[in-house]
Amino acid sequence: MRPTLAALSALALAACDGSLLFAEVQIPDLRITLPSQSFPAVAASLPTDWCDPAVSGNPQCLGITSDYDLGAEVPALAEQGVTYDLRLTRVAITLSAVQQAGAPPDLSGIESAFILVGHDPAVPGSGTVVASYQKPSPSATPTVIAVTGNANVDLGPYLDAGTLPVRVEVYVSSGTAAFDADITVGFSLVVNVDWGSYL
Amino acid sequence: MRRLALPLLLASLALAPAARAEEAPDGKATWGLLVDAGFPQGGSASAVFRPVPAIRVFAGPAWNWIGLGLQGGVAVVPWHFAVTPVLSAEVGRYFGSDVSFLADGSQGVPPEIAPLLEDVSYTYAAVHAGLELGSQRGLAFSLRLGLSYLSLQARGTATVTDAGSGTVVQFTDPRVRGTVPSVKLGVLYWF
């Protein structure tokens, strides 16, 4: 009798990962696309668009920050007793279908790109790089730049009230005009709810 | 009065052989039929085999309102009286079912979610403790409470577009697992 009872207990505990009452939601692929994000033109007269305004003569590095409101898509993130694991799986920059006048026909002007989280606007160069892109060849004329994210970085600490600010910094060729791009960020998300905290 | 007639009849059938039920099964009634229903297991019909008096194994088809599945398990009955404690453990699986009708707008589920509901399956394991009332050679009723582990898988991609901002959100192959309290009612008949 005892071995049977022990086996049943073990089954229950093993199934629960040690927590008696819990729920876990796994979304292996959650993609959020923000359309028509404006990348400014290379302009020596507008250092506010530069990655580091303090670096004189550095108009080729342009940065924009977009907020990804994960809390709106997964409201449980802000609930009591909820823990989560959020990873970046991919980032895609796609030339928007509708463009500003004079926009380039492709993304060939982007020499390299870096995706950062935890960027402090007051501290140029701050943040953690979670994905990067290097133009594969000088003659490449992509309309989509897709890169794999660094899945080793837990993005949870970078969430602010359910919103993840994502910084995109691109190094562009001289003379690149302003353009709009749709930025898709892919995540894997695991949300754990400890029922016990509600009792 | 008529409403009480059927339960009273079933109860009398169950309790009539109670005196004999206090004896250990003599080995003749080793097969039975168990019909039970509960949450989150759904309803099931099982063939029950009793290799030794204290142990039962059972298996059979299962049904919940979204689909069909299979389930089976083992129960331990440490002694035999008219009221008998029962410990059981079981596992089951419901095969992929299309529940996209839930997203028709009337159930509060957004229609955009429908693609995720076209192939939903789940697996469960449960442990229960409860009481069985009746005969170990005839008819018995049981009520069991316990804990269930569920793993629910939805396959597909749902795309939701915010009409205002144009933000597009895609969810692919979400999975939910967890534990929930479980309850089961059963009727068992030994042949």
Q: Which residues of A touch B166 (CB under 8 A)?
A: 35-36
Q: How close, in Å, is residue B55 to chain A by CA atoms? A: 10
Distance CA B77, CA B46 (A): 17
Q: Distance between CA atoms of B13 and B138, rounded to whole angstroms?
A: 8
Asked if A35 has any chain B CB less than 8 Å from its own CB, the reply is yes
* Subunit contact B176:A35, Cβ cutoff 8 A: no
Q: Is the ipTM of this complex over 0.85?
A: no
Rounded Cα gap, residues A124 and A61, in angstroms: 11
Query: What pLDDT is attached to residue B60?
Result: 97
**CB-CB neighbors (< 8 A) of B78 in chain A:** 1
**Is residue B30 scored above 60 in pLDDT?**
yes
Q: Which residues of B touch A (CB under 8 A)?
A: 54-55, 74, 76, 78, 87, 89, 125, 127, 147, 149, 157, 165-180
How do A22-39 and B175-190 pair as beta strands?
A: antiparallel
Residue ranges of E strands in chain B: 31-39, 42-52, 55-64, 67-76, 83-97, 120-134, 139-154, 157-161, 168-172, 175-190
Q: What is the pLDDT of residue B190?
A: 92
According to DSSP, residue A102 is labeled T
Confidence band, pLDDT 50/70/90 cuts, at residue B4:
very low
* Residue written as token pair 């142990």: B55
Name the residue among B82, B62, B80 with its Cα closest to residue B13: B82
Distance in Å, alpha carbon of A99 to nearest chain B alpha carbon = 15
What pLDDT is stored for residue B140 in this prediction?
Answer: 94
pLDDT beyond 70 at A2: no
Shortest CA distance to A153 belongs to which of A91, A92, A94?
A: A91
For residues B86 and B58, is the Cβ–Cβ distance under 8 A? no
Could you tell me if A1 and B52 are in contact, meaning their C-beta atoms sit under 8 angstroms apart?
Answer: no
Lowest mean pLDDT among A8-12, B30-34, B79-83, B155-159: A8-12
pTM of the model: 0.78
Residue A17: predicted pLDDT: 52
Q: Specify the pLDDT at position B125.
A: 95
Of A64-73, A89-98, B18-27, B89-98, least confident by mean pLDDT is B18-27
Structure tokens at A126: 């701050």
Q: Return the pLDDT at A18.
A: 56
**Contact assessment for residue B178 and residue A23, using Cβ atoms and an 8 Å cutoff:** yes
Per-residue model confidence (pLDDT) at position A13: 55
pLDDT per residue as tens digits for the range A59-98 = 688 889 999 988 888 877 777 778 889 999 999 999 998 8
DSSP A131-144: EEEE-S-TT---SE
Most confident of A43-47, A106-110, B24-28: A106-110
Which of A20-24, A44-48, A132-136, B99-103 comes out lowest in average pLDDT? A44-48
